[in-house]
Structure 1
């Protein structure tokens, strides 16, 4: 039996694949460049939207200075709605398409480099073989990405609903002096515990599901049906990805949570300091810095997913061969 790879071993193989092949690293850098440039603009819009939403909800729920920023100003729906529409349109249209293109090229190129017997691939050969993989898979990958977009948006709405519900419950106690009462303190602690538990459960589930969704995209790029040679996409790709991932749930959860925490931690300083509101240009510089880190983490994540795909696929095929050999031996004995 093939030994199961741990999270660190997956990341080591991904890093080794990137650092040992200059052509692959250069090609992935060029593929990620359009997404990097767009993400700077998108993240600035997202920061402004989150800041305005935070202030608007605090204002409407009458939370006073308990959650407010010190230099807040009164906001109306007309101040918030245009930013919500802009950020939503940027996310669902340009970002989704750019991310799909970048992901498809990263997965195809990583697969070519990982399965190639040549120690160092020439850039032109890598581009040609990657384009050959992607040319008939873009439609299937788009369908799978729509499934993933719908599922991930549903989880995000769960996060948002939990947060708004918590703020609403807190707003019911407008007299903050009442928090000195034991009953009020216990009530607030129970509410925080319930909503915190829901948030943690959603985060764990999101981390567990996200690898299945990511693996579904990898399957849509690399997997072929034996009958007609066409790709597998949509619900079939997601089902196959969960089948490949059986027995690796803890490892996959840990890996996805690592990348999720990394993405959140890189964003938090800029959100806290409100980089989008700085007129000196430092906000754009800080945003570009953490967007670059996110793009690097994105490349490592998808290369690790490709390594995980081949590891899980080899294990499944080995079990399948063992079952077939056992069946033939049993039939021969009888």
Structure 2
């Protein structure tokens, strides 16, 4: 308790927990299987939507001199809107629900294994029974918390999208001037790029910080017990997010770094398929490559939530220790007076 755990320490403890308990690792990968299967379908739809959106915006904003399109063809709103609707529906209903159930099971099972006082690793049957007991009491609360997280995260993504579109729109307008290559035009374009780039970076940093609070809020919804409810009640919604913010005070930089690491990992694994257009491949290799990186994302998702559980118990123990110190100090002061 003397030193705060670093990101590497959290990841080491998460990896140690997984490798030291084969039953836990097998259970977490097994419960991630439905998410893995669905993500292949979702990622193929997302790849197509991003590619069509990229082509449509480049076509409408006349950005051909900035971006080189592969297999360019004229697109209309009727080509893009159905894919936008399909991908949005897949994200807001099936994906959110499957991800919520998967997250709840991962957090519950990791908590059971991490807090077990037995010397030998827990067996599969015992692990499943204890995890199921936690999940059945907290699933509704986790659903409420996840709806708050979904609303907040969607607002941030809309900010990213608006900033990107505004920059592309301004860049397209600057091409209409004959003096586009003049010093004044170049300076104007540099200032616009600097402003929108700064906004994008600020949003990315804020998203990383908020993601840490949101993830901790989901962990709180699964593991935290409300006083006076004999373990049957839980903390969820705004209460869970407020408590997660309280637990995370003093660990903001560490949590931000960890969230950015997993965010960069998720983006980096997607980029090769987005660049090569896996969803447009007719040979079946696109589905194979998509399945490979979806598998990496699911493994990273497991490690992330196990690390969040370790971080939760570390932060909670420190907060309770400080609380006890304050109570002892106030009592000692009362006796002295």
> Please, which moves more after superposition, 29-38 or 167-176?
167-176
Say which SS state the counterpart of residue 174 (structure 2) adopts: coil
Counterpart residue number, 1:57: 57
Provide the secondary structure at the position in 1 that maps to 2:227. Answer: coil
Cα deviation, 1:109-134, whole Å, max 9, x if unaligned, reads 00000000223110000000000011
Aligned equivalent of 1:40? 40
Q: Scaled by the length of structure 1, what TM-score is found?
A: 0.98
Shifted more, 167-176 versus 323-332: the winner is 167-176
Q: CA RMSD in A?
A: 1.1
- Write the distance in 2 (CA, Å) between the matches of 1:178 and 1:285: 48
* Aligned residue-pair number: 334
Which 4+ residue blocks in structure 1 deviate beyond 6 angstroms?
none
Between the aligned partners of 2:26 and 2:181, the Cα distance in structure 1 is 60
Q: Name 1:208's counterpart in structure 2.
A: 209
Please give the residue correspondences for 1:275-290 in structure 2 after superposition, counting only pairs within 5 Å. Answer: 275-290=278-293
> Aligned partners of 1:22 and 1:158: how far apart in 2?
42
User: Which residue of structure 2 aligns with residue 27 of structure 1?
Assistant: 27
Using the TM superposition, give the Cα deviation of residue 269 of structure 1 relative to its aligned residue in structure 2, in angstroms.
1.1
Q: Using a 3 Å threshold, how does the CA distance of structure 1 residues 288 and 176 change in structure 2: closer, same or farther?
A: farther
**Hey, what does 1:75 align to over in structure 2?**
75
Alignment of 1:161-172 (within 5 A): 161-172=162-173
Q: CA deviation at 1:176?
A: 8.2
Q: What does the per-residue CA deviation read over 1:200-251, in whole Å, with 9 as the maximum and x for residues that have no partner?
A: 1100000000010000000000001112241000000000000000000011
CA contact (8 A) 1:108 1:133 kept: yes
Which residue is equivalent to 1:123?
A: 124
Paired with 2:177 and 2:197, the residues of 1 have a C-alpha distance of 21
Q: Does 1:16 align with 2:19?
A: no
SS of 1:83 mapped into structure 2: helix
1:157 and 2:170 matched: no
Residue 136 of structure 1 deviates from its aligned partner by 1.1
Q: Partner of 2:73: helix, strand, or coil? A: coil
Q: Secondary structure at the match of 1:306?
A: helix
Distance 2:312 2:2 in 1: 14
Give the alignment's TM-score, normalised by structure 2.
Answer: 0.97
Q: Which deviations, in whole Å up to 9, do the C-alpha atoms of 1:169-195 show, x marking residues without a partner?
A: 001023587443111111111111111
Distance in 2 separating the partners of 1:177 and 1:112: 67
Match of 1:274 in 2: 277
CA displacement at 1:68 relative to structure 2:
4.1
Alignment equivalent of 2:240, drawn from 237, 240, 245: 237
Aligned to 2:187: 186
Residues 58 and 176 of structure 1, relative CA distance in 2, 3 Å threshold:
farther
Q: Distance in 2 between matches of 1:26 and 1:2?
A: 34
Q: Secondary structure at the match of 1:135?
A: helix
SS at match of 1:180: coil
Secondary structure of 1:137's aligned partner: helix
Instruction: Give the CA deviation at 1:65.
Output: 3.9
- The CA deviation at 1:252 is 0.5
In the other structure, the counterpart of 2:322 is 319
Q: How far apart, in 1, do the equivalents of 2:77 and 2:192 lie? A: 28
Contact 1:55 1:68 in 2 (8 A): no
Does residue 109 of structure 1 match 2:140?
no
Whole-angstrom CA distance in 1 between matches of 2:36 and 2:2: 38
Displacement after TM superposition at 1:333 (Å): 1.2
- 3-state SS, counterpart of residue 272 of structure 1: helix
On the 8 A contact 1:58/1:68 being kept in 2, the answer is no
CA distance in 2, matches of 1:2, 1:110: 24
Q: Which runs of 5+ in 2 are unaligned?
A: none
Deviations 1:11-61 (A, max 9, x none): 000000000000000000100000001000100000000010111111111
